[in-house]
Amino acid sequence: MVEPKVQGNISPVGENKPRIDAREKVTGAAVYADDIQFGNGLLHARIKRSPHPHALIKKIDVTKARALPGVKAVVTGEDFPGYIGLYLQDRYIFCRDRVRYVGDPVAGVAASSVEIAEQALDLIEVEYELLPPVLDPEFGAGAEAPLLHPDLGKYVVANFIFPQAGTNISNHFKIRKGDVDGAWEQCAAVVERKYRIPHIQHVPIETHVAIAKVEVTGEITLWGSSQSPFAQRNLIAQSMGISQSKMRVIAPFVGGGFGCKAGVSMEALAVAIATKVKGHPVKLVLTREEEFYTAFVRQGLVAYFKIGCDAQGRLLAMENKFYWDGGAYTEYGVNVTRASGYSSSGPYEVPNIKTDSCCVYTNHPVGGPMRGFGMPEMHAGLEQCIDELALQIKMDAVDFRRLNCLKTGSSLVTGSRMHPTGLPQCIEKAADAIGWGRKAPASAPNKRRGKGLALMWKAPAMPPNAGSSAWVELAEDGSLNVGVGGQDLGQGVFTVAAQMAAAALGVPYESVRVAIPVDTRYSPYEWQTVASRLTWSMGNAIVNAAKDARRQILETVSAAWEEPIENLDIVNGVVISFKSEKEVPLKNLVIYGLPKPDGQGWRGGPIVGRGNFMPTYVTGLDPETGQGERAVVHYTTGAQAVELEVDLETGRIDILRGVSAFDVGKAINPELVKAQMEGGFVQGMSSALFESLQLKGGVLQNPSFVDYRIATSTDAPKDLEAFIVEVPQDDGPWGARGIGEHSMVPTIPAIANAIYDAVGIRLDGPPFTAEKVYLAMLDAGIVK
């Protein structure tokens, strides 16, 4: 079979829009515009939530709520005994015995209006017995902390997660490589630091929303703003004890996700309530305030680093302890903990390393996946330590990284070898673009200017059997329909899907249409839209589906023309022969086939290609040492550099320039890749300078945009540069690998290192607010 040919950018840069007709636009976008689609039977749901961080539920009385006119159902955990969770099944849909954070769902109401549902919540009487809360992960990991999940040892858990029964540690991931204790005496310089990274929110513009309908037959349909329709189908069905075939999830376009709409959060609540009002769709929308603390938040982290090098700057030893604040339930947090463990060396070759990465239950909001999946938090401290080590031995920080960074064939923290990587090129591009080693004057006498640089690496954090599938189908006019189960969150994955299908089959990009919305009844299976894996994993499935269709087409034409397939190709939607110079447009054969000679019938028929992909080569890791043959599918690597100014009078930081350079293997769509680099930089900058969930006694103090600051266009640097490095990935389509999350990973330490370069101070964690910076300068005697 002739392989599809790709030269340069797979499609013209100016054509980066998925082909969606007006009908599809309505189907994909109008689900939440109004309630017309669901008719007068639509009910509205609201949730009674715990006001306490930790308490036993002694009694729930819903009598008055049920008697309120307009209330159609009131449900509690009594009706739903099943556990739910992705990697660790540790929570009920509605609380049954105790509450574990402020916002834990205790009861749900369905009513004819939102206002009536809210009134009913006030009529639900809950009697609690308060329990002491756990509000710090380091304390929570100790023997003196109150036990938050007494049944931890009985929970269903993935076989690569290691909960510690009888403690608050839901996963303890270990790395033991080399002789760490023996290496310290060989070190010429050692840095020991502690960093604390706060919880932050994803703050998507569209809050969580779900509409569930249960038919009298028991069939369930869930419409949701979701990154994980297939995972939701599976997990909700499992929890409720029904067949997955009776559960259908429809997921239109998502108005922002960044990880918070992965897995299952509030969607199961809507389904549970809908089971009590069969035939009626039930709509549940999180308010902005609820979005801040009842949806997933990014986990907090207390991190200890000890890193040493010899006199020439070669890294010799590293010892890390991570206490992840997983919150009340850690179905996703346990895998964040694992990912930080098997990546705990950072993008460096370190011969001796010891890591203990612990996911700890606390009475804080539920920690879940967020862009970067633990890597921004872990790199925040590690990359500052690298700068400090270089300073101790009087070595330039970029030279130090050049010496120690991972290169093709380097020994990794898990004992395997690094695949081909362009990390050294990324360092050079970022350093050159920022003008490393050249000091520019500040813009005013009261300001100081500095530059900083940081590296990163990140693998797709997923189970070893996370699969993708796709189908392609040709229509009578030769146009191509592509079915995928991945979700477009604004990152442009449908555009890339169309590009890859077009290139693999040999048709114009303009003739490709992606079938939306994602619907688990009709769309091909996709594990989840997480881990920056769709271009790579779903892309492989699309290519395989297109190759399958291509094979069918060429076999039909080969038989009709009596020519070997090797002589044939598909170019711009036309089958051509290099030998006989015959040609036939696809539209003439992909439905009805081609006639046999002398009226003896037809050959071929409707063309439908199918493809799948699963990385069968990922191996397990030893639970005591974290060593193994291949822990992950691959790593994306990169570097960022910043130039900033610090105002000595106020502590305000202005980011003047930002530079990103990442090895993406192959940029399927260079403009979309650069957009991810730029957007990730700004989001990373936001988490570095502004964002923090202020929790006091387990109660969130800033659940609104009034008090929770995020970066806006006015904060973004005017000068943002993005450089694409392409060292192909062996198992990626055209060598591609992901870039969606990675551009947010090194931003915090790059900014922290630039602050030190400017004014000589270091803080123990973000956000680097003007107040904190000014007070630190005051303490250091830099200002008076």
DSSP, collapsed to helix, strand or coil, labels residue 150 as coil
**What residues contact residue 369 under an 8 Å CB cut-off, 6+ apart?**
259, 260, 262, 263, 296, 332, 336, 530
DSSP tag of 442? P
- From residue 246, how far is each of 210, 222, 745 by CA, in Å? 18, 11, 40
Which contiguous run of DSSP H or E holds residue 778? helix 770-779
Q: What backbone torsions phi and psi does residue 762 show, to the nearest 5 degrees?
A: -130, 140
DSSP tag of 606? -
**Would you give the distance in Å from CA 736 to the centre of its chain?**
18
Sheet of 98-99: strand order equals: 98-99, 55-61, 125-130
- Is the dihedral angle over the CA atoms 385, 387, 390, 392 positive or is it negative? negative
Tokens of 355: 């890591």
Pair 301, 200: CB distance under 8 Å? no
Buried b (16+ CB within 10 A) or exposed e, 242-258: beeebbbbbbbbbbebb
Which contiguous run of DSSP H or E holds residue 83? strand 83-84
- Residue 115: active-site member: no
Options 319, 383, 726, 741, the catalytic residue: 741
User: H-type helices in 393-477, by residue range?
Assistant: 397-404, 423-434
Tokens of 731: 């198992």
Pair 204, 256: CB distance under 8 Å? yes
Amino acid at 41: G
Amino acid at 296: F
DSSP tag of 200? B
CA atoms within 13 A on the CB side of 26: 4
Parallel/antiparallel/unpaired status of strands 105-111 and 71-76: antiparallel
User: H-type helices in 254-396, by residue range?
Assistant: 267-274, 288-293, 333-342, 375-392
Active site residues: 741
